[in-house]
Amino acid sequence: MSELITTALVDLNLPGNDRTEATANLVERLVKEGRVTDEAGFMTAIKDREAQMPTGIEGGIGIPHARSQYVTEPTLAFGRSVQGVDFGSADGPADLIFLIAAPDGGGSEHMKILASLARRLVRESFRTSLRDAATPQDVVDLINKEVLGR
């Protein structure tokens, strides 16, 4: 199994003015890295999940996520948005966007990732470190240490 997140899955200047466009830009990275086999199919799964309940949380965070038959392995992608993207949080747009992709039948792995990520994201120091990260490798190292305990 590959790493959950790699530098190729990090965009420190994520384009997109709405959640669909921003998410699609991250999904493109998953497709290029072989983590998603059908871009449109996976986008449909994300939109269906988003329709159930918005995935924005306080602190400027969006966490679109879905299980899908088109996901080859559990994956986390990260984008930092300069202008912010509305993911439905009461406190406004998200500038830190995490896309969690999980394979169908992959057990509870993506929920463990989501829970661990959410626990870290309540810490201001973690959010600040993500906002201040100078390189994609800085983000990968921070997530590996703080979220995955590596």
The residues annotated as belonging to the active site are 65
Question: What CA dihedral angle connects 97, 124, 116 and 118, to 10 degrees?
Answer: -60
Q: What's the chain look like in SS3?
A: CCCCCCHHHEECCCCCCCHHHHHHHHHHHHHHCCCECCHHHHHHHHHHHHHHCCCEECCCEECCEEEECCECCCEEEEEEEEEEECCCCCCCCEEEEEEEEEECCCCCHHHHHHHHHHHHHCCHHHHHHHHHCCCHHHHHHHHHHHCCCC
Cα 12 from chain centroid? Answer: 12
